[in-house]
């Protein structure tokens, strides 16, 4: 459009310049035609500018509407994703809490089992120790009894030996007496 306005102005100026040299009435008519052409061109440029302005305004409105719709769509999508993430995080939190409870329960069970095993082993060891002590008492009593019996046997054997020795001494003493008594007579 700028080109057509410029062309009209150049044409008008050219005609004006040539009109100065041409002194006939033909030049006046040409100038009037050029002026009318410039006015028409100006009106065409104004109309075209108005059309461009209106078209641009319409396009801007379309872009605004499309942008607003896209922003609203993205906002809704973001909101939906946030809700999904919240739900997922809630589920993860719940799962973690459940796992922690399971681990805690399993640990408590293991501790109880360990306590029971320790108590059982302790009772077994106590019983085994009591049995060993009882066996030791019995063995000690048997050893004492055996020692007492051996001591009694040894005492009896010693008595017998002493009695035998005493009898032997008496016999010897009598033999000596008898052998001394015939000589003394």
Report pLDDT digits (tens) over 60-102: 898 888 888 899 999 988 999 999 999 999 999 999 999 999 9
pLDDT band at 185 (very low <50, low <70, confident <90, very high): low
| pLDDT score recorded for residue 91 | 93
pTM assigned to the model: 0.34
Q: Give the residue carrying structure tokens 């062309």.
A: 7
Q: How far is CA 150 from CA 8, 68, 112, 143, 144, in A?
A: 158, 119, 55, 10, 10
Structure letter (DSSP) for residue 23: -
pLDDT in tens, 105-158: 999 999 999 999 999 999 999 998 999 999 888 988 888 888 888 888 888 888
Helix, strand, coil distribution of the chain in percent, nearest 5: 95, 0, 5
- What are the domain boundaries of the chain? 2-123
Do residues 67 and 23 touch, judged by C-beta distance below 8 A?
no
| pLDDT score recorded for residue 139 | 87
Pick from 10-24, 43-57, 60-74: least confident: 10-24
| pLDDT score recorded for residue 143 | 86
Do residues 45 and 15 touch, judged by C-beta distance below 8 A?
no
Do residues 46 and 69 touch, judged by C-beta distance below 8 A?
no
**pLDDT at residue 182 is higher than 70:** no
Buried b (16+ CB within 10 A) or exposed e, 120-141: eeeeeeeeeeeeeeeeeeeeee
């Amino acid at each position: 459009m700028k080109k057509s306005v410029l062309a009209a102005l150049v044409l008008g100026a050219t005609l004006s310049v040539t009109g100065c040299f041409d002194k006939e009435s033909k030049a006046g008519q040409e100038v009037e035609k050029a002026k009318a052409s410039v006015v028409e061109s100006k009106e065409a440029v104004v109309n075209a500018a108005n059309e461009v302005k209106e078209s641009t305004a319409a396009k801007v409105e379309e872009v605004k509407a499309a942008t607003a719709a896209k922003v609203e769509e993205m906002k809704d999508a973001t909101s939906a994703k946030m809700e999904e993430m919240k739900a997922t995080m809630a589920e993860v939190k719940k799962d973690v809490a459940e796992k922690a409870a399971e681990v805690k329960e399993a640990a408590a069970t293991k501790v109880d089992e360990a306590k029971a095993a320790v108590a059982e082993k302790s009772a077994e060891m106590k019983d085994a120790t009591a049995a060993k002590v009882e066996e030791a008492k019995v063995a000690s009593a048997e050893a004492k009894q055996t020692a007492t019996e051996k001591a009694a046997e040894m005492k009896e054997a010693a008595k017998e030996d002493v009695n035998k020795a005493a009898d032997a001494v008496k016999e010897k003493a009598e033999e000596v007496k008898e052998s001394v008594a015939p000589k003394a007579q």
